[in-house]
Amino acid sequence: RKMGVTIQFESHRVELPTVYELEHDDGVLEYWDQPNSIKLDYVGAHGRHLGVLHTPDYFVIRRTEAGWEECKTEEELIRLSERNPNRYCRGDDRWLCPPGRAYAGRLGLYYRVRSSADINWLFQRNIQFLEDYLRATPEVNSRSRATILAQVAAQPGCSLADLFMATDGDVTRDEIYSLIAAGDVFVDFQAASLPQPEN
C-alpha cells in the first residue's frame, strides 16, 4: 500500500518479513526492490583483491537516512563469514558488510545487513493476522467507530479482550480489527499476539 506497486521478495524467511516491517514503519517513506547493482571492493579469503557487482535486496528511503538493505538468514551469514570474513562479519550487535558500508558511505548513504535472527516474529504474526483487513480495510459506520474510539479514550491501554467485552453487542470484532488495521486504534504489534486478546 505504501508504494502503490507490487514489491518483489525471494525469501519468506527474511525478505517477506522485511517487506512487512518496511511497509508498517512510519519512518520509512519508500522502499524499492532489486535496485541497481553496486560494486563491492574487498580482499578475498585468499588475499586477492576482488571487485564484485552486487544487487542488494532493497533500497530504502527513511525520514532521516537512505541506503541499501541486504537480507540473509543467520545460517547463511555464518557460512558466508567463514568463507569470506572481509565481505560479511559480525559487529557488536549486528552483521556487517564492510565493503557495502564503504561504498554507501562515500555517497552519504548506509548499507545494512538484515539477519533472520533480528526478525520480530510476534510483529510478523500480528501483521499476518490482520492481512485481510490491511489489504482492503472494510468501512466502519460512524456509530460503531464513535463507540470504539470512545471506549479506547475512556480506558487507554486496555487489553483487546477488555475492548471486546466493553463493546459487545454494539460493535463487531471485525469493526475493531478494521480500525486497528487503519491505524485509528493504536496497538503495539510487538507487545502481544492479537489472537490472544487477553494479553
Distance CA 109, CA 151 (A): 44
Name, in order, each residue with C-beta under 8 angstroms of 55's C-beta and a sequence gap of 6 or more. Answer: 34, 35, 36, 37, 38
Please give the helix or strand (H or E) that residue 19 lies within, else none: helix 15-23
pLDDT, tens digit (0-9, with 9 covering 90-100), for 4-42: 888 988 888 899 999 999 998 999 999 999 999 999 999
Q: Which three cell numbers stand for residue 144?
A: 460503531
Q: For residue 191, what pLDDT band results from cuts at 50, 70 and 90?
A: confident
* Segment 133-160, tens digit of pLDDT: 888 767 899 999 999 999 999 999 899 9
Extract the C-alpha cell encoding 126: 500480528
Instruction: Provide the whole-model pTM.
Output: 0.83
Residue of 110, 115, 108, 107 lying closest to 98 (CA atoms): 110
Instruction: Give the separation between CA 127 and CA 122, rounded to whole angstroms.
Output: 9
